Amino acid sequence: MNAKNVVESLKKRFPNEPEYLQAVQEVLESIEDVYNQHPEFEKANLIERLCIPDRIFTFRVSWVDDKGNVQTNMAYRVQHNMAIGPYKGGIRFHSSVNLSILKFLAFEQTFKNALTTLPMGGAKGGSDFSPRGKSNNEVMRFCQAYLLELWRHIGPDTDVPAGDIGVGAREVGYMFGMYRKLAHEFTGTFTGKGLEFGGSLIRPEATGYGNVYFLCSMLATRGIDIKGKKCLVSGSGNVAQYTCEKLIQLGAIPLTLSDSNGYIYDPDGITQEKLEYVKDLKQVQRGRIREYAEKYGCKYVEGARPWGEKADIALPSATQNEINGADAQKLVDNGIIAVAEGANMPSTPEAIAIFQKAKLLYSPGKASNAGGVATSGLEMSQNSERLSWSSEEVDAKLKGIMANIHANCVKYGTEPDGYINYVKGANIAGFMKVAKAMMAQGII
């Protein structure tokens, strides 16, 4: 397999899907050598079967807004790979959602889920519907309308959706409610559910907590303590909030948060008390991060991202391609020591090259944000046995899983000079598991 040629041929077949091609290129470049040590892979055309999703559902969703107008949105579910378990992955509601973005996310999810060691295949879904500015009733009607089509394609042993951008506890609740009504069964077909109806303790916290656990493992390879470290966090949603919470618990100092309008910089650090305000602002009031600056009298920068601020660690937790080459250079010039990705593919290829050239501790999202889906896997286990585990038990399992992913990255990603290439490590470890499962199951 020649990674460049495969990407070129995919470019011809899917010319309008830049995010998908970007994600594929990163993985293929890092697994090329290992893949070519297995001629049986090439004979089975494993690479095309692994890059192209098993199937994609595309459909129109119609719903009625509060003024009585009939609205339409495009909606999708990409079922990428089922070789190691039922399809599993979140649902994104955001105006930018298109097939390229969902295909990149489903592709990444396949390797991420393999890394968790739990039996989950890869999928992603979503719609160009934006919950922002919509009433609660409009969100509910949209979720129900989306499920009217989606429900027949999912199930506890088929495909188990969860949250992602624009989809949190509220949206999962509405979607699960509609699912169980249509399917006439109560099963663990969604994760991220409310605690009263089968949700798992620690699932809301898991992505952010897991990312910080992973960061601590990276720092430990250089004997660095997280205590007192100044951190730049982007986003202000689920992942950003619980990233801040774990940073605060471990004595680190989060300085920034952002949303699509701008970022806040709090030189005194975001404390637990201020974070509780952010949780309420975002989860209940559904306000903008600018309001934090107004309340606490700190800096707010409109239309910018926080990467120009000076700190020790960056934890991008908003969206894809939010750190470009120029941002990465600023971070390196300002003396950053580690970048731990909470979001999926937040760094462009140019940014990754700059981080790796500077020999930073740099972890790709598929390794360091895997705690979210891993805890979804634990929610599935609890639902199957109709039991709920304590938060201590779930958190201990999450810690163990993150430590295991880190160890696998070290195993497959350590370069001759001792530098740990976490991108390479995560891609090879995830790929090998899925590849072996596909080979064993024949050409299907």
- What are the residue numbers of the active site? 124
Measure the CA–CA gap between 85 and 75, rounded to whole angstroms: 24
Lookup: tokens for 247: 């940073």
Candidate residues 26, 159, 245, 259; the one interacting with ligand NDP per rule CB under 6 A: 259
168 binds ligand NDP (CB under 6 A): yes
Instruction: Work out the angle at residue 99's Cα, subtended by the Cα atoms of residues 95 and 103, and round it to the nearest 5 degrees.
Output: 120
Residue whose CB is less far from ligand NDP, 179 or 292: 292
x-or-dash pattern for ligand 2IT, window 309-348, by CB under 6 A? -----------------------------------x----
Residue count at the site for ligand NDP (CB under 6 A)?
25
Distance between CA atoms of residues 91 and 76, nearest Å: 9
Selected binder of ligand 2IT within 26, 31, 51, 88 (CB under 6 A): 88
Helix (H) or strand (E) holding 363: strand 361-363
CA atoms within 13 A on the CB side of 220: 10
What is the DSSP code (8-state) at residue 420?
Answer: B
**89 is a contact residue toward ligand 2IT (CB under 6 A):** yes
Sites for ligand NDP among residues 412-441 (CB under 6 A): none
79 binds ligand 2IT (CB under 6 A): no
Q: Which of 372, 413, 425, 430 binds ligand 2IT (CB under 6 A)?
A: 372
Q: Is 122 in the site for ligand NDP (CB under 6 A)?
A: no
* Residue 342 binding ligand NDP, by CB under 6 A: yes
Q: What is the chain's alpha carbon radius of gyration, rounded to the nearest angstrom?
A: 21
Contact window for ligand NDP (CB under 6 A) among 164-172, 355-363, 380-388, 423-431: 164-172
Q: What is the 3-state secondary structure (H, E, C) of 150-207?
A: HHHHCECCCEEEECECCECHHHHHHHHHHHHHHHCCCCCCCCCCCHHHCCCCCHHHHH
340 closest CA partner among 360, 359, 358: 360
What is the nearest approach in angstroms of ligand 2IT to the Cβ of residue 97?
13
With CB cut-offs between 5 and 8 Å by kind, which of ligand NDP, ligand 2IT, none does residue 191 bind?
A: ligand 2IT
Residues in contact with 354: Cβ distance below 8 Å, sequence separation at least 6, in sequence order: 325, 328, 329, 332
Bridge partners for 185 per DSSP: none
Selected from 150, 318, 351, 394, the binder of ligand NDP by CB under 6 A is 318
Does 368 help bind ligand 2IT (rule: CB under 6 A)?
Answer: no
CB of 184 to ligand NDP, least distance (A): 28
* Strand 313-315 with 55-64, pairing: unpaired
Pair of tokens at residue 241 = 């909030």
By CB under 6 A, is residue 162 in contact with ligand 2IT?
yes
Q: Of 376, 382, 383, 421, which lies in the binding site for ligand 2IT, with binding defined by CB under 6 A?
A: 376
DSSP codes of every residue in 229-286: -EEEE---SHHHHHHHHHHHHTT-EE-EEEETTEEEE-TT---HHHHHHHHIIIIII-
Size of the residue set binding ligand 2IT (CB under 6 A): 12
DSSP 203-229: HHHHHHHHHHHHHHHHHHTTT---TT-
Among positions 164, 245, 322, 327, the unique one binding ligand 2IT when judged by CB under 6 A = 164
Annotate each residue in 355-374 with x if it binds ligand NDP (CB under 6 A) or - if it does not, as one string. --------------x--x--
Query: Smallest distance, Å, CB 202 to ligand NDP?
Result: 12
Interacting residues toward ligand NDP by CB under 6 A: 94, 96, 163-166, 168, 207, 235-240, 259-261, 317-319, 342-344, 369, 372
Interacting residues toward ligand 2IT by CB under 6 A: 88-90, 109, 112, 162, 164, 191, 344, 372-373, 376
